[in-house]
């Protein structure tokens, strides 16, 4: 059974703080993704990675960066958090062997005050 | 940019009735169309998917249809049950599954 875990379920940060969101998957998946979920907007792709140290911008990368030093771990970094980054953040992973089904983590609800 | 439009945003049905959710996509290179279900407070999970070489796929009470010419695909749930209440997301993806574009979601309420 695929497990995707995220470091925090809830996080409250102040404007200007540097924020790290961690995601770990245990199925040796090549692909990993970071989305943000906002009401009425669905899931929007921030960044994805198809291999260690590889990263590609998604649709809304501004204000975010990512790091993938190990295959199982994909980190999302908010360099200087702003209130408009208050959202639910979902990590996912997939593999060609699973026909690209994305397995999601439980989500991190980030509030920036 | 590429997008996926999903309708309706909210759908309320009586238990036992059918529910239909429709999506359109813009990227003609899309060839994989998954549907995810997200129950309240839980993570999205894949419930059914369809590839571009197939027009229809069925799995018990759920079915998905695809019209590549019109760039439409739909989710059909028959004999709805209260546990079908959730937010449903359609998505479109190209080869490799990297850039999956999600619809905005449909909140389905099934009234007992």
What distance lies between CA B36 and its chain's CA centroid?
7
Distance in angstroms (rounded) separating the CA atoms of residues A65 and A79: 7
Distance in angstroms (rounded) separating the CA atoms of residues B6 and B87: 12
Distance in angstroms (rounded) separating the CA atoms of residues A96 and B110: 35
What DSSP character marks residue A101?
Answer: P
What distance lies between CA B67 and its chain's CA centroid?
14
Instruction: Give the distance from residue A65's alpha carbon to the nearest chain B alpha carbon, in angstroms.
Output: 17
Which pLDDT does position B20 carry in this prediction? 98
- The minimal CB distance from A42 to the residues B32, B99, B104 is found for B104
Distance in angstroms (rounded) separating the CA atoms of residues B94 and B77: 25
Cβ neighbours of residue B107 closer than 8 Å, sequence gap 6 or more: B9, B10, B11, B86, B87
Instruction: Give the distance from residue B14's alpha carbon to the nearest chain A alpha carbon, in angstroms.
Output: 24
Which pLDDT does position A99 carry in this prediction? 53
Which pLDDT does position B78 carry in this prediction? 97
Which pLDDT does position B96 carry in this prediction? 62
Look at residue A98 and tell me whether its pLDDT is greater than 60: no
Which pLDDT does position B94 carry in this prediction? 82
The secondary structure of B76-107 as a DSSP string is EE-S--GGG-EEEEEEEB-TTS-SPEEP--EE
Question: For residue B105, which residues of chain A lie inside 8 Å, CB to CB?
Answer: 40, 42
As a whole number, mean pLDDT of residues B77-93 equals: 96
pLDDT digits (tens, 9 = 90+) for B17-76: 999 999 999 999 898 999 999 999 999 999 999 988 889 999 999 999 999 999 999 999
Q: What are phi and psi of A13, to 5 degrees?
A: -130, 160
3-state DSSP assignment of residue A18: coil
As a whole number, mean pLDDT of residues A7-36 equals: 95
Mean of pLDDT over chain A: 93
């Amino acid at each position: 059974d695929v497990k995707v875990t995220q470091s925090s379920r809830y996080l409250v940060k102040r404007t200007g703080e540097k924020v790290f969101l961690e995601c770990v998957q245990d199925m040796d998946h090549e692909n990993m993704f970071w989305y943000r979920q906002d009401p009425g907007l669905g899931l929007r792709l921030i960044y994805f990675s198809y291999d260690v140290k590889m990263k590609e911008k998604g649709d809304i990368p501004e204000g975010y960066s990512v790091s993938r030093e190990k295959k199982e771990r994909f980190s999302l970094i908010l360099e200087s958090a702003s209130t408009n980054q208050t959202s639910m953040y979902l990590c996912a992973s997939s593999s060609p062997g699973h026909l690209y089904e994305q397995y999601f983590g439980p989500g991190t609800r980030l509030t920036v005050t | 940019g590429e997008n996926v439009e999903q309708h309706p945003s909210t759908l309320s049905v009586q238990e036992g009735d059918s529910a239909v959710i429709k999506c359109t996509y813009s990227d003609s290179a899309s060839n994989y169309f998954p549907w995810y279900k997200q129950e309240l407070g839980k993570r999205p999970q894949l419930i059914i998917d369809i590839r571009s070489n197939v027009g229809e796929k069925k799995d018990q009470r759920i079915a998905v249809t695809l019209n590549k010419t019109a760039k439409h695909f739909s989710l059909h749930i028959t004999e709805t049950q209260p546990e079908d209440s959730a937010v449903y997301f359609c998505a479109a993806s190209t080869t490799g599954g990297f850039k999956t574009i999600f619809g905005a979601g449909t909140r389905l309420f099934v009234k007992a």
